[in-house]
Amino acid sequence: MGLFDKLAGWLGFKKEVNVLCLGLDNSGKTTIINKLKPSNAQAQDIVPTIGFSIEKFKTSSLSFTVFDMSGQGRYRNLWEHYYKEGQAVIFVIDSADKLRMVVAKEELDTLLNHPDIKHRRIPILFLANKMDVRDALSSVKVSQLLCLENIRDKPWQICGTDALRGDGLQEGVEWLQGKLDTRSNQVVEDMRT
Ligand code: G3D
């Protein structure tokens, strides 16, 4: 991509943002993405490789890359390859799966320490999903268990969601949009100075 395309993108002429939607299997990523995805979204590059699957689709302004982070240790290199192109992350947690909260934290820590993520101020939206399930942990509790307060070099937000009904998603996505707008304004400022 040429520089002009890049700037044009940020400035809104042809804005395209690549969002990585990550989390353990069964956390609700597919359900969430299906709620966010407009009906005209084009699926692309669905790679049904053995043991590793990634879904990529695109709307006029957003491109989503979705994959499971669990049980696929052997394929880690394949999915980490996509980190570079991500400009925002949606990290989905199954708030009712207390047993695997520690696995989710390990995966989050690995993500945050990856060289393609570590030094970039990309916004991360955490969705504490399955809030409708009885005994699900609150978003505050999920935030504590994942030690989110330790993330100081990236903007982040956590929202409780019920992906089946779509509750909480709008609030989260609006926050993310606001962060991406701020970044595009920063580019404008940088060009002026
Ligand atoms: P994944 O893409 O992260 O692997 P999915 O997860 O979106 O496939 O969701 C896994 C299961 O959890 C699905 O149930 C889905 O309907 C359910 N689910 C997703 N979000 C919620 C939620 O907010 N509340 C509840 N109660 N269930 C949710 P099935 O039965 O199809 O496996």
- Rounded distance from Cα 161 to ligand 1 centre (Å): 12
Q: What is the pLDDT of residue 119?
A: 92
CATH architecture of the region 3-192: 3-Layer(aba) Sandwich (3.40)
Pocket lining for ligand 1, CB < 6 angstroms: 23, 25-31, 68, 129-130, 132-133, 162-164
134-190: pLDDT as tens digits: 999 999 999 999 999 999 999 999 999 999 999 999 899 889 888 887 665 554 444
- Rounded distance from Cα 80 to ligand 1 centre (Å): 24
Q: What is the pLDDT of residue 184?
A: 55
41-99: pLDDT as tens digits: 655 544 444 455 667 666 666 677 887 776 556 677 777 888 998 999 999 999 999 99
Q: Whose CA is nearest to atom 14 of ligand 1?
A: 26
Q: Where are the alpha helices (DSSP H) in 50-147?
A: 76-80, 101-113, 115-118, 139-145
Q: What is the pLDDT of residue 188?
A: 46
CB atoms within 10 A of CB 5: 12
pLDDT band at 11 (very low <50, low <70, confident <90, very high): very low
Q: Are 68 and 29 in contact (CB under 8 A)?
A: yes
Q: What is the pLDDT of residue 111?
A: 94
Say whether pLDDT at 37 is over 80.
Answer: no
Instruction: Name which residue leads in pLDDT, 91 or 12.
Output: 91
Q: What is the pLDDT of residue 116?
A: 95
Q: Are 35 and 169 in contact (CB under 8 A)?
A: yes
Q: Which amino acid is at 22?
A: L
